[in-house]
């Protein structure tokens, strides 16, 4: 195809134009592409920045949370620099603190050896920078001024940032010190400064808060302290008041309990006195009943008096009216006294009682012996009261000695095997008016003042009382006090004391011996100890009138000698006598073999309580005052020579002072009072028993000799054994001892002492037999029944008695006399006496047991009738 | 013959009243503990009509005895009167547990006899 020139030119032009347009477009395109790249890159850049900001924000937030929890400014700085290094990539950071233009590093991070640079941060070196740089400063080695380069070289750094912060801009700066590039962006920019400033203001606000808080806290603390001080005071007061209230309350309670107790203790005997007096005063009452009433009144009055004495003693101490004496005394005397007072009681309770003092314990002391004694008496009496078996011991030892002032701390220990004390009860033990509980009071009686009195006394002596106890096993009371000691001139120490061997009442043999000595009444007389001849005459006459054999000793020493040689049924002891007074004599008699149990009645001119107490303490049983009231004397003798029941029942039979006429009662070789007691107080039974004895045993000595001659040792031994038992029952003391001696020899192989023993036995036996046969008591004769009738009577009596007992019927008491009469000799006096004493205590069940035994032995069946 | 059971741990206290009350025409039963008293009261034969009961006794005390008697069908009808040495007794309480009265020791026998008569023979002139 062909184109015209014109056409060609047009085409060329067109092409040119197109080419130009094309180039233009390309350029435009290129420009656009380049623009796009620019846009793209700036977009990426801002994305990085945004990300970095986000990151900083997150770190700040985390930091803020961390910092918020801090309470110490130092910790906040520390966290800030550590965070900057660890999380934001700065190599080293330091917080500078300024105080009047003097700088010092407060925290740092990223340094291996900060000590090396520490100097450089300290001082005024920075002040030039900071004066004008309010908004912070970035220095890079590349664009640093000369001054700045010097500054960088000091820290061996290529870059740093300084950012002031703080409320008053007065003290704190950051320095970001870049030695090596560790982050991608080697150069610091203003944005880094901003990070620092942001961080700075954050920290500043937290610090401000902390300061505010601390200030507040301090105020609060002060206030709290004040309040809590007041609180403590208040609380203490409350506690004190509560305590006081409690004390008052418990004191009140204890006092109320005490009053209740006292009320009971006083009212019970008062009741007996009121009712019994009423009964005695009412018309047409038999004399016997009146006497019974009076006996009850007497014993009730005695217990009232005891209670009143206790209360008075206690009040005296409480009122501070009690002064201690300081005299020389012998400790052994005190201990012996205690022993004398209690061995009888311990013996009758069948518990062992011993008093011991160790070898080195000084005996001569200075102090108040009476009060020491009172404390010991109290502790021992409690121990015995609350011990039903085993033993009670009082031992003395020296705990420590002080040679310079010749004093020593003595430890007295009273140990028992009694009921013991619960731990809870111990603190209350010594409280005035306190007793462990009502039932204890009821079972054991007493006012509850004893230990309180002892404790107060021990305090007056500068001593103390303590206690150890295991319930059910026993109790130990310790009393410790200091006494001055006086060394005896004849050196060699003090020998100890042991009052247990002398007595040991619980060993079977010695118990029997003692029983024997009680029964050994063969030729019993009353011993009158009196120095005044006229008095001797008067008292002797009294006894002669009553046909009671009596002897006179003119002073204490004579009395002691007489007791060693003879048995006496009782001793009347004058107090003031030449050579040896009544107290000493009594003590010596109590220590002698025969004298332990003889009733000793003091005859004293003074009715002063102190003197009477001394009599009892010396070991006397009772006292009468001069001029002697005969009736009272005989009543007291009667009471102590046998048991209460005897004198009561026996008195019903008339005669002197209501007693069995002495010509009837006096049977040589027999303690008729004791025997009647064994016969349950029934004279008829007593006579029957004696009659039987004569029939059965009058030939015993011949029989034994005959058996011995034939070599029938066993038979002889059996016979001697049975007469021993019977003689005990009829209270033939001498015969009892003699037959026991024979029996003992027959138990062994050695018969060398047999002849002597048999001779004594024969004498004693014939004395008793003759005595019984010649006694007026038998001439009255007895109504004899035939045996069969007797047995039937008795069977029904047993059944009837049993029925009364079974039903708790009080008729048992009045029926007992009939029962006893009907029993005659079928029931042993011991059983009758046991029945009677159980019945007196209204122990119906105990009585039934005995009755069942009796019935079984006699082949009677109970319960059929 | 009306039967009176006297309960007191001290036998002397029982003795004091027993004989005097016997002479007033009563039959007297005696017990020295709460346990024994309950046993005695619950016997069909010889059951007491009236109990004179001490309050403080070792073991089962008087109040307990009274409560137990009153809660037992067989013994509920027995009249119970307390006697005590304690001044501070609470008559309201005593009546609430079913007893009729309480005498404080020491009291004289006439008063006792009168009271017993009043409770045992309600119709009789005082």
- Within 49-88 of B, beta carbons closer than 8 Å to A belong to 56-59, 84-88
CA B79 to chain centre: 7
Mean pLDDT of chain A: 75
Between A101 and A781, the more confident residue is A101
Predicted confidence band of residue A826 (pLDDT cuts 50, 70, 90): confident
Question: How does residue A11 score in pLDDT terms, banded at 50, 70 and 90?
Answer: confident
pLDDT band, residue A647 (cuts 50/70/90): very low
Question: In the predicted model, what is the mean pLDDT of residues A626-642?
Answer: 70
Q: What is the pLDDT of residue A785?
A: 45
Q: What is the mean pLDDT of residues A147-171?
A: 66
Rounded to an integer, what distance in angstroms lies between the CA atom of residue A771 and that of residue A777?
Answer: 11
Q: Residues B81, B103: contact at Cβ < 8 Å?
A: yes
Phi, psi of B30 (to 5 degrees): -135, 145
Nearest-angstrom CA–CA distance, A127 and B120: 117
Residue A90 has pLDDT above 80, yes or no: no
Percentage of chain A modeled with pLDDT above 70: 74
Cβ atoms A383, A418 nearer than 8 A: yes
DSSP label at residue A366: E
Nearest alpha carbon to residue A178 among A213, A233, A140: A140
- With a CB cutoff of 8 Å and minimum separation 6, the contacts of A318 are A432, A456
Average pLDDT over residues A741-763: 86
Q: What percent of chain A stands above pLDDT 90?
A: 4
Cis bond before residue A390 (omega within 30° of 0): no
d(CA A114, CA A334): 88
pLDDT bracket for residue A619 (50, 70, 90): confident
CA–CA distance, B57 with B10 (Å, rounded to integer): 9
H or E element that contains A137: strand A137-140
What are the strands of the beta sheet with A622-625, ordered from one edge? A550-553, A525-529, A568-574, A600-604, A622-625
Distance CA(A830)–CA(A812), nearest Å, equals: 19
The DSSP bridge pattern shows strands A352-357 and A497-498 to be: antiparallel
Higher pLDDT, A525 or A180: A525
Contacts 24+ apart (CB under 8 A), A774-782: A775/A664, A775/A666, A775/A667, A776/A663, A776/A664, A777/A664, A777/A665, A777/A667, A777/A683, A777/A687, A777/A690, A778/A687, A778/A690, A778/A691, A782/A684, A782/A687, A782/A688, A782/A691
Low-confidence winner among A14-18, A434-438, A489-493 (lowest mean pLDDT): A489-493
**pLDDT value of position A231:** 83
CB-CB neighbors (< 8 A) of A439 in chain B: 56-59
- Rounded CA-CA distance B112/B120 in Å is 12
For residue B106, give the nearest of A274, A279, A844 by CB distance. A274
Helix, strand and coil content of chain B, in percent to the nearest 5, comes to 40, 20, 40
CA–CA min distance B69, chain A (Å):
17
pLDDT at A434 over 70: no
Residue A173's DSSP bridge partners are A96, A164
Measured in residues, chain B has a length of: 126
Residue A533 has pLDDT above 80, yes or no: no
Helix axes A609-618, A582-591, angle to 10 degrees: 20
- What integer is the mean pLDDT of A453-468? 87
Are residues B56 and A841, on separate chains, in Cβ contact within 8 Å?
A: no
- Residue A488's pLDDT band, with cuts at 50, 70 and 90, is low
**A13-22, A55-64, A123-132, A718-727, range with the lowest pLDDT:** A123-132
Confidence at residue A478, expressed as pLDDT on a 0 to 100 scale: 93
CA-to-CA distance for A516 and A566, rounded, in angstroms?
14
Return the structure tokens found at B35. Answer: 């346990």
The pLDDT confidence band at residue A447, using thresholds 50, 70 and 90, is: low
- Sheet with A92-99, side-by-side order of all strands: A102-109, A92-99, A172-178, A159-165, A137-140
Q: Phi first, then psi: give them for residue B47, nearest 5 degrees.
A: -70, 135
* A contact test, residue of B52, B106, B108, B109 with most A CBs within 10 A: B106
Supply the pLDDT for residue A493: 45
Neighbours of A194 (CB within 10 A): 15
C-beta atoms of A264 and B85 within 8 A:
yes
Q: Which of A9-23, A35-49, A320-334, B59-73 has the highest mean pLDDT?
A: B59-73
The string of pLDDT tens digits covering residues A222-275 is 888 888 888 888 888 888 888 888 777 777 776 666 666 666 677 777 877 887
Least confident range from A65-69, A602-606, A640-644: namely: A640-644
Average confidence (pLDDT) over A816-841: 82
> Do A396 and A331 form a contact (C-beta atoms < 8 A)?
yes
State pLDDT tens for residues A576-603: 888 888 888 998 888 877 777 788 888 8
Among candidates B12, B27, B57 on the partner chain, residue whose Cβ is nearest the Cβ of A442: B57
Strand ranges (E), A518-635:
525-529, 550-553, 568-574, 600-604, 622-625
Instruction: Give the mean model confidence (pLDDT) for residues A543-554.
Output: 78
pLDDT in tens, A709-726: 888 888 888 888 878 877
pLDDT recorded at residue A422: 82
* Residue in this structure with the two tokens 């303690």, named with its chain if needed: A671
What is the predicted pLDDT for the residue at A545?
65
Nearest to A271 among B13, B36, B57 (CB): B13
Nearest to B78 by CA among B103, B44, B107: B44
Task: Please list the residues that pair with A552 across neighbouring strands.
Answer: A528
User: Closest residue of A to B28, CA-based?
Assistant: A810
Residue A782's pLDDT band (cuts 50, 70, 90): very low
φ, ψ (nearest 5 deg) of residue A783: -70, 115
Q: How confident is the model at residue B71 (pLDDT cuts 50, 70, 90)?
A: very high
- Cα A511 to the chain's mean position, in Å? 33
Q: Check if the beta carbon of residue A692 is closer than 8 Å to that of residue A725.
A: no
Q: Is the pLDDT of residue A512 over 70?
A: no
Burial class (CB in 10 A: 0-12, 13-18, 19+), A849: middle
Res B36: pLDDT: 93
Minimum-distance CB partner of B12 among A270, A272, A843: A272
Q: Residue A1: is its pLDDT beyond 80?
A: no
φ/ψ of A47, rounded to 5, equals -65, -45
According to DSSP, residue A777 is labeled G
Distance CA A587, CA A560 (A): 9
pLDDT digits 0-9 by tens, B91-111? 888 889 999 988 887 777 788
In Å, the largest CA–CA distance within chain A is 208
Tell me, what's the pLDDT at A820? 84
Q: String of b and e for A541-553 (b: at least 16 CB within 10 Å)?
A: ebbeebebebbbb
CB contacts, 8 Å: B56 with chain A: 264, 438-439, 442
pLDDT at B50 over 90: yes
Report the distance separating Cα A526 and Cα A519, nearest Å. 15
* Nearest residue, CB atoms, B108 vs list A278, A300, A841: A278
pLDDT at A190 over 70: no
Contacts of B29 in chain A (CB under 8 A): 807-810
Q: How far apart are CA A172 and CA A144, in angstroms?
A: 23
The pLDDT value recorded for residue B111 is 84
CA A532 to chain centroid, in Å, comes to: 53
A409 neighbors A482 (Cβ within 8 angstroms)? yes
- What are residue A290's phi and psi, to 5 degrees? -60, -45
pLDDT (0 to 100) of residue A126: 63
The pLDDT, as a whole number, for residue A248 is 77
pLDDT band at A382 (very low <50, low <70, confident <90, very high): confident
Q: Looking at the whole model, is its pTM more than 0.80?
A: no
Query: A843 — contact with chain B (CB < 8 Å)?
Result: yes
Segment A456-461 mean pLDDT: 86
The 8 Å CB, 24+ separation contacts for A720-724 are A720/A746, A723/A697, A723/A765
The DSSP line for A221-251 is: HHHHHHHHHHHHHHHHHHHHHHHHHHHHHHH
- Flag whether pLDDT at A192 surpasses 80: no
Burial A436-465 (b: 16+ CB within 10 A, else e): bebebbbeeebbbbbbbbbbbbbebbebeb
d(CA A304, CA A712): 61
**What are the C-alpha distances in Å from A68 to residues A59, A78, A80, A163?**
14, 13, 12, 21
Question: Do A724 and A740 meet the contact criterion of CB atoms below 8 Å apart?
Answer: yes
Contact A266 B85 (CB under 8 A): yes
How many Cβ atoms from other residues are within 10 Å of residue A8's Cβ? 11
Q: What is the mean pLDDT of residues A778-806?
A: 69
Confidence class for position A813, pLDDT limits 50, 70, 90: confident
Chain A, 218 to 277: residues with Cβ < 8 Å from chain B are: 256, 259-260, 263-268, 270-276
- Confidence category of residue A653, pLDDT binned at 50, 70, 90: very low
Element (H, E) at A178: strand A172-178
Report whether pLDDT(A543) > 90. no
pLDDT of residue A395: 92
Q: Are A434 and A262 in contact (CB under 8 A)?
A: no
Q: Is B35 on the interface with A (CB under 8 A)?
A: no
Return d(Cα A333, Cα A607) in angstroms, integer.
25
Instruction: For strands B50-54 and B3-7, give the pairing.
Output: parallel
Report the alpha-carbon distance of residue A216 to residue A650 in Å, rounded. Answer: 100
Residue B23 in this model has a pLDDT that exceeds 90 = no
What would the two tokens of residue B115 be? 């009271």
* Higher per-residue pLDDT: A808 or A287: A808
Distance CA A673, CA A240 (A): 66
Residue A833 structure tokens: 């006496």
The answer to whether the beta carbons of residues A839 and A816 sit under 8 Å apart is yes
Low-confidence winner among A33-47, A70-84, A645-659, B68-82 (lowest mean pLDDT): A645-659
Burial of A212 (0-12, 13-18, 19+ CB in 10 A): exposed
pLDDT of residue A858: 78
């Amino acid at each position: 195809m062909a184109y015209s020139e014109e056409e060609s030119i047009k085409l060329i032009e067109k092409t040119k134009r197109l080419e130009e347009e094309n180039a233009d477009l390309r350029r435009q395109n290129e420009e656009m592409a380049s623009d796009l790249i620019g846009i793209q890159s700036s977009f990426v850049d801002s994305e990085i920045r945004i990300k970095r900001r986000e990151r900083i924000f997150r770190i700040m937030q985390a930091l803020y949370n961390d910092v918020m929890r801090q309470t110490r400014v130092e910790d906040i700085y520390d966290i800030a620099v550590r965070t900057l290094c660890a999380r934001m990539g700065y190599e080293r950071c330091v917080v500078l603190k300024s105080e009047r233009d003097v700088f010092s590093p407060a925290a740092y991070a990223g340094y291996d050896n900060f000590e090396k640079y520490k100097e450089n941060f300290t001082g005024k070196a920075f002040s030039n920078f900071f004066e004008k740089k309010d908004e912070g400063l970035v220095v890079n080695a590349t664009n640093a001024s000369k001054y700045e380069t010097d500054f960088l070289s000091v820290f061996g750094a290529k870059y740093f940032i300084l950012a002031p912060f703080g409320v008053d801009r007065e003290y704190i700066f950051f320095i970001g010190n870049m030695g090596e590039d560790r982050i991608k962006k080697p150069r610091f920019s203003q944005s880094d400064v901003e990070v620092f400033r942001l961080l700075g203001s954050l920290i500043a606000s937290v610090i401000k808060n902390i300061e505010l808080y601390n200030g507040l806290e301090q105020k609060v603390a002060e206030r709290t302290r004040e309040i809590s001080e007041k609180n403590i005071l208040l609380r203490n007061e409350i506690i004190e008041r509560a305590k006081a209230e409690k004390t008052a309350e418990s004191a009140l309670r204890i006092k109320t309990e005490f009053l209740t107790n006292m009320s009971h203790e006083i009212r019970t005997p008062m009741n007996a006195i009121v009712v019994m007096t009423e009964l005695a005063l009412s018309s047409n009452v038999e004399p016997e009943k009146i006497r019974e009433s009076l006996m009850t009144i007497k014993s009730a009055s005695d217990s009232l008096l005891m209670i009143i004495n206790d209360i008075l003693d206690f009040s005296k101490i409480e009122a501070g009216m009690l002064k201690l004496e300081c005299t020389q005394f012998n400790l052994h005397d005190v201990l012996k006294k205690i022993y004398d007072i209690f061995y009888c009681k311990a013996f009758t309770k069948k518990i062992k009682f011993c008093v011991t003092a160790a070898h080195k314990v000084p005996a001569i002391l200075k102090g108040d012996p009476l009060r020491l004694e009172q404390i010991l008496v109290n502790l021992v009496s409690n121990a015995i009261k609350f011990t039903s078996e085993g033993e009670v011991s009082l031992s003395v030892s020296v705990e420590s000695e002080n040679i310079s002032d010749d004093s020593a701390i003595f430890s007295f220990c009273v140990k028992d095997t009694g009921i013991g004390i619960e731990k809870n009860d111990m603190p209350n033990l010594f409280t005035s008016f306190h007793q462990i509980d009502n039932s204890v009071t009821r079972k054991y009686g007493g006012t509850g003042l004893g230990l309180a009195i002892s404790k107060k006394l021990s305090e007056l002596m500068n001593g103390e009382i303590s206690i150890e106890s295991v319930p059910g096993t026993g109790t130990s009371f310790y009393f410790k006090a200091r006494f001055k000691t006086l060394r005896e001139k004849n050196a060699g120490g003090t020998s100890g004391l042991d009052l247990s061997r002398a007595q040991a009442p619980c060993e079977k043999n010695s118990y029997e011996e003692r029983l024997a000595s009680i029964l050994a009444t063969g030729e019993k007389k009353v011993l009158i100890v009196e120095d005044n001849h006229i008095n001797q005459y008067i008292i002797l006459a009294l006894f002669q009138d009553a046909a009671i054999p009596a002897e006179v000793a003119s002073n204490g020493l004579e009395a002691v000698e007489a007791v060693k040689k003879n048995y006496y049924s009782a001793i009347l002891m004058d107090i003031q006598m030449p050579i040896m007074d009544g107290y000493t004599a009594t003590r010596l008699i109590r220590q002698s073999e025969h004298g332990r149990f003889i009733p000793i009645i003091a005859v004293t001119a003074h009715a002063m309580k102190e003197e009477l107490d001394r009599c009892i303490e010396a070991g006397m049983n009772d006292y009468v005052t001069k001029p002697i009231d005969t009736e009272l004397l005989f009543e007291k003798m009667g009471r102590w020579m046998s048991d209460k029941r005897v004198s009561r029942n026996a008195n019903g039979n008339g005669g002197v002072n209501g007693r069995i006429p002495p010509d009837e009662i006096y049977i040589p070789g027999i303690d008729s009072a004791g025997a009647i007691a064994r016969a349950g107080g029934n004279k008829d039974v007593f006579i029957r028993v004696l009659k039987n004895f004569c029939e059965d045993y009058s030939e015993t000595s011949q029989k034994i000799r005959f058996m011995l001659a034939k070599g029938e040792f066993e038979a002889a031994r059996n016979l001697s054994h049975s007469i021993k038992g019977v003689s005990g029952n009829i209270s033939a003391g001498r015969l009892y001892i003699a037959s026991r001696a024979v029996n003992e020899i027959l138990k062994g192989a050695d018969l060398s002492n047999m002849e002597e023993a048999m001779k004594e036995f024969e004498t004693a036996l014939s004395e008793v037999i003759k005595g019984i046969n010649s006694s007026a008591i038998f001439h009255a004769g007895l109504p004899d029944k035939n045996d069969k009738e007797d047995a039937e009577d008795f069977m029904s009596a047993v059944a009837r008695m049993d029925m009364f007992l079974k039903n708790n019927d009080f008729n048992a008491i009045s029926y007992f006399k009939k029962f006893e009469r009907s029993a005659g000799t079928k029931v042993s006096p011991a059983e009758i006496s046991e029945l009677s004493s159980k019945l007196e205590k209204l122990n119906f069940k105990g009585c039934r047991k005995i009755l069942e035994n009796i019935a079984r032995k006699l082949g009677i069946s109970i319960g059929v009738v | 013959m009306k039967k009176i059971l006297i309960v007191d741990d001290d036998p002397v206290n029982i003795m004091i009243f027993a004989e005097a009350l016997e002479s007033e025409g009563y039959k007297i039963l005696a017990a020295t503990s709460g346990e024994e008293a309950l046993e005695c009261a619950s016997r069909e034969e010889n059951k007491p009509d009236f109990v004179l009961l001490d309050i403080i006794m070792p073991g089962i005390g008087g109040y307990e005895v009274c409560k137990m008697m009153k809660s037992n069908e067989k013994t509920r009808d027995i009249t119970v009167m307390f006697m005590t040495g304690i001044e501070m007794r609470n008559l309201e309480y005593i009546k609430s547990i079913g007893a009729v009265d309480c005498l404080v020791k020491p009291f004289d026998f006439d008063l006792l006899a009168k009271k017993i008569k009043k409770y045992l023979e309600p119709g009789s002139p005082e």
